[in-house]
Amino acid sequence: MAASFKPRIFSGIQPSGGLTLGNYLGALKRFVEKQEEGIETIYCLVDMHAITVWQDPEKLRQQTREAAAAFIAAGIDPKRSILFNQSQVSGHAELAWIFNCVARIGWMYRMTQFKDKTSGKNAENSSLGLLAYPSLMAADILLYHATMVPVGEDQKQHLELTRDIAAKFNHDYGTEFFPITEPVIEGAATRVMSLTDGTKKMSKSDPSDNSRINLTDDADTIAKKIRRAKTDPLPLPETVEGLKDRPDARNLVNIYAGLSGQPVAGVVAEFAGAQFGTFKPKLAELAVAKLAPITTEMNRLMKDPAEIDRILGDGADRADVIAAPILARTKEIVGMIGRG
Ligand code: AQP
């Protein structure tokens, strides 16, 4: 009989820059929904992933606190969910090493995110950590025996690799110790695209600030970025099908759907035949209404960094209570002698 695991959610965000509307709709908003469903939820600011590309140390600390503030401001309750930064729980690094010895190098080279991040550059000159990133991500998830991981569409391939690593570990050691985790990719905005190029993902590390909405942007900046967002000359279509070859238009409609909680078809029906001159101000109004309270609360929380650090420390202690026995058992399965 297959082993059964307690439903448990794990997910993370890299504090590699300020969080974007993409992180909010693809991840954060859904993290809050999962917390409200009453499932055990563990959320992590993955600072060890962030340093796979160079981070200024002072900025990394600031971005980690800012990301924690964004989680809380968006509705994560640090008493109900566990919220912490990855490097405080050493089991992530330890399990990642064991998984580095289970996973195959070829699996890593096939990851599109690795290819994207090294494209046009000398891949041989990127950090070893960037190549091994999915193995650390598998450790993040499996250290807690998480059964579900809410993510945006871009993380689907990494999640498949987590499943492959769990399956290979279980097979190699003749066990069913690790669960085969399910990705949870839901909602209208699982892939928010750049405002300046609807074929590219909105990303916190994009050199162009106009390509994204940051959770720290004020109302005027949000409205300006939406006004300048790339579109085409046609009015909005009558059907969802009509958005098919219009990436920029589709992106704005998806963002509207994600923010309003309506299905894409509902948004298309509401704005059928409208010009962008009509649609964009409505979108800007909605974005400001949804994001301004989060930004205000983030700014308030950021005034007390010591309190944020306390919350992260408390989260790390609680995460460690779950992680420690799972790591100890993994080492035992592998044949390592523990302290007894
Ligand atoms: N554009 C997006 N649309 C929907 N979901 C997104 N996510 C990120 N961008 C979008 C989701 O946010 C979670 C955290 O992602 P991450 O910060 O760990 O890494 P990422 O996917 O690489 O995000 P960025 O913004 O593109 O970061 P950089 O620029 O540092 O690489 C994930 O669930 C992701 O799916």
Helix (H) or strand (E) holding 12: strand 8-13
CB of 156 shorter than 6 A to ligand 1: no
Q: Residues of CATH 3.40.50.620 domain(s) within the chain?
A: 8-190+304-334
Give residue 2's pLDDT: 60
d(CA 267, CA 289): 17
Q: Decide: helix, strand or coil at residue 75.
A: coil
C-alpha dihedral sign at 276, 281, 286, 290: positive
Catalytic residue, candidates 29, 121, 168, 201 = 201
Say whether 175 sits in a helix, a strand or coil.
coil
Nearest residue to 142 (alpha-carbon basis) of 160, 158, 165: 165
Pairing of strands 148-150, 182-184: parallel
Distance, first Cα to last Cα, the chain: 30
Residue 201 among the catalytic residues: yes
Which residues face 43 on adjacent strands?
11, 83
Cβ pair 163, 180 in contact under 8 A: yes
- Cα(215) to ligand 1 centroid in Å equals 13
Q: Say yes or no: CB of residue 152 within 6 Å of ligand 1.
A: yes
For strand 82-85 and strand 148-150, is the pairing parallel, antiparallel, or unpaired? unpaired
CB of 204 closer than 6 angstroms to any ligand 1 atom: yes
Which pTM was predicted? 0.94
Q: Which residue among the candidates 6, 121, 200, 204 is catalytic per the annotation? A: 204
Residue 339's pLDDT is what?
83
Ligand 1 centroid – CA 203 distance (Å):
6
- Answer whether 135 contacts ligand 1 (Cβ < 6 A): no
Count of Cβ atoms closer than 10 Å to residue 223 Cβ? 18
* Ligand 1 pocket residue status of 52, Cβ below 6 Å: no
> How many residues in the chain?
340
Q: Which fold has domain 209-300?
A: Tyrosyl-Transfer RNA Synthetase (1.10.240)
Residue 1 has what pLDDT? 47
Residue 43 has what pLDDT? 98
Q: Is 231 near ligand 1, meaning CB less than 6 Å away?
A: no
Distance from the alpha carbon of residue 186 to the mean position of ligand 1, in angstroms:
15
Looking from the CA of residue 11, the nearest atom of ligand 1 is 33
Please spell the DSSP secondary structure of 147-160, one letter per residue: SEEE--GGGHHHHH
pLDDT by 10s per residue, the chain, length 340: 467 899 999 999 999 999 999 999 999 999 999 999 999 999 999 999 999 999 999 999 999 999 999 999 999 999 999 999 999 999 999 999 999 999 999 999 999 999 888 876 778 899 999 999 999 999 999 999 999 999 988 899 999 999 999 999 999 999 999 999 999 998 777 899 999 999 999 999 899 999 999 999 999 999 999 999 999 999 999 999 999 999 999 999 999 999 999 999 999 999 999 999 999 999 999 999 999 999 999 999 999 999 999 999 999 999 999 999 999 999 999 999 998 6
Name the residue of 192, 203, 252 to mutate for ligand 1: max ligand atoms within 8 A of Cβ: 203
- Residue range(s) occupied by CATH 1.10.240.10 in the chain: 209-300
Protein residue with least CA distance to atom 29, ligand 1: 205
Strand-pairing partners, residue 11, are: 43
Residue 301's pLDDT is 98
E-strand stretches of 120-257: 148-150, 182-184
CA of 40 to the centre of ligand 1 (A): 22
Residue 198 CB less than 6 A away from ligand 1 = no
Q: How far apart are CA 30 and CA 26, in angstroms?
A: 7
Work out the angle at residue 83's Cα, subtended by the Cα atoms of residues 286 and 21, and round it to the nearest 5 degrees: 25
Give the contacts of 267 (CB within 8 A, at least 6 positions apart): 253, 256, 257, 260
305: how many CB neighbours lie within 10 A of its CB? 15
Take residue 66 and report the two structure tokens written for it.
């800012």
User: Which CA distances in Å does 122 have to 39, 100, 130, 217, 287?
Assistant: 43, 23, 13, 34, 39
What is the fold of 8-190+304-334? Answer: Rossmann fold (3.40.50)
Residue 168 known to be catalytic: no
